[in-house]
Amino acid sequence: MAIRPFNSNRSRSKFSAVTSIISPRILLCSTMPIGSAKTISGWLWSRRNKPVQTINLLGMFTRNSSNNLIFYSILADTDGKKPPGGSMSRPAPLSPPTQVDETQDLRFRFLGIDPATCATLRGLLPIVQPHLERIIEEYYQKILSVPAGRATFGANPETADRIKKGAVESWIAQLHGKFDAAYFEKARGLGHMFAKIKWEPRWFMGGKVFVVNRIVEVLTAHFRWRRDALTEAIIALNRLAMLDLDVMTTAYLEAMEEKARARRLQIAASFEDLVRGVLTGLRQASHDLETSAGSMAALADQTNHQAVSVADAVRQASSNVKNVAQATDKLRTSIAEIAERVSVSTDIAHRGASAAEETSGTVQVLAEAAQRIGEVVQLIQSIAAQTNLLALNATIEAARAGEAGKGFAVVAGEVKNLAAQTARATEDITQQITAIQSATEETVRAMRTINGTISELTAISGTIASAVQQQENATAEIAQNSQVAAATTSDVVRVVGQVIDAAGETGQSAVRVHGNAQVVARDGSALDGAVQNFIRSILAEEEKEAA
């Protein structure tokens, strides 16, 4: 058995180990620490003369402090001889058609990939290619057996077909044994893609082991009785698998580190922007606070002076309010006297109105009596006229009677004279009655005017009485308010005194705030400098790591 560790003294304490044991009866794939791998290696050595055709430990790998992949290969055959291909420490350089840069050449030397390995891989292509689609299909179903695989690759059938087709083409290209820049670019691209879709190394490493084991099964069946050829084929296949895993894992880690670095830079930039915005706001707030503190101090001083003036004015107002209250009390007394007199005048006016109303009624009765007398006089005048007419007729008849009618004529003449006197008397009476009626009508009109005037006086007296009552109420309210105002002005004087004290304290607080604002401004500048130094150190460290 040959066990060849590389750079093992710088490796970490734990390793991933993938083992494939090929025999007529055993196929084993496992992951174990290095101690277990050494135990199995001892067991394999004890079985070296047993009917085990070929034993191959695909690899154990970890990362050292320089972030380089460390690889262990355990190879054995039944004769205890070294497998074909010679030592892995100094492989022959690749032929010119497949030559790559110095870094990749070092990787080839490390893994033992030489032109013979490439030739062996090309010889395996026609053996393996017919089985690749089946193996990749099994590999894809293996992926879908875990939740992470279903979530990443199982959603879209077209994506699945593209993945399987790409995997077949990739294995065909690898088995051509042409490890040029295009190969490394594609392998690194897969590592970057796995990092992008978060397909972790445990899955694509396990998938690589799965496919290699299936290919080993094909090779075992093909080289069943050709032990040396099978050993050479498995060695070449192992080296190919480890190279592919090395490149993909390195690219995966680089991509993850780049993402982490970009995230760190983004966080640093966001932090810088945030802190810069906060500091800008802090400086502005400090400046505004300083300005406001100065203004507040000036306003406090101005308030103090104004409060003193207000206190003097309030004291004067308090004295004036007290005088107003006293004058209001006197005014209430005067208004009460006026109200009493107006009430008496109103009563007199009411009595005058009643008397005038009674007089108006009496005069109206007199007018009606005069009217009736006039009617009687008219009756007398009518009788006198008729009497005069009768006397005239009697005189005419007496004249006709002659001597016999002389006595009757005398009587008729007397009656005529009486009728004439009655007519004159009734005429005088009529004139007097007419005069009485005229005077009565004038009296009635005058009484009506007097009644109207008295009514107006009564209404005016009522209005005056109402106004006096309202004035009395208003004066009472004024007196009450004056008393309240007098008490309030006393409170105002006390409050103004408190305002003066508060203004003094505000001025002192403003001075303290002004000083604190200056301290905050200085601290903000210091914090700005500290943040800038912090960001510069982060960027410098990132540039150092990137280099």
Q: What percent of the chain has pLDDT over 70?
A: 74
Q: What is the pLDDT of residue 17?
A: 34
Low-confidence ranges of the chain (pLDDT < 70): 1-101, 155, 293, 300, 307, 310-311, 314, 317-318, 321, 325, 349, 457, 468, 486, 503, 541-542, 544-547
Among 171, 250, 249, residue whose Cα is nearest residue 204 = 249
110 CB neighbour count, 10 Å cutoff: 20
Q: What is the pLDDT of residue 127?
A: 92
Spatial contact of 250 and 204, defined as CB atoms under 8 Å apart: no
Phi first, then psi: what are they for 61, rounded to 5°? -145, 150
* Cα separation, 85 vs 320, whole angstroms: 123
Sheet of 16-22: strand order equals 2-5, 69-77, 54-63, 16-22
Spatial contact of 86 and 4, defined as CB atoms under 8 Å apart: no
Q: Who contacts 135 (Cβ-Cβ below 8 Å, separation ≥6)?
A: 211, 214, 215, 218
Q: What is the pLDDT of residue 307?
A: 67
Domains of the chain by range and CATH?
A: 2-260 (1.10.490.10), 291-543 (1.10.287.950)
Q: Tell me the two tokens of residue 131.
A: 């089985």
Distances (CA, A) of 90 to 10, 35, 39, 110: 20, 27, 28, 8
Contacts for 193-196: CB closer than 8 Å, 24+ residues apart: 194/248, 194/252, 195/251, 195/252, 195/255, 195/256, 195/259, 196/255
547 CB neighbour count, 10 Å cutoff: 5
* 457-466 burial: b if 16+ Cβ within 10 Å, else e: bbeebeebbe
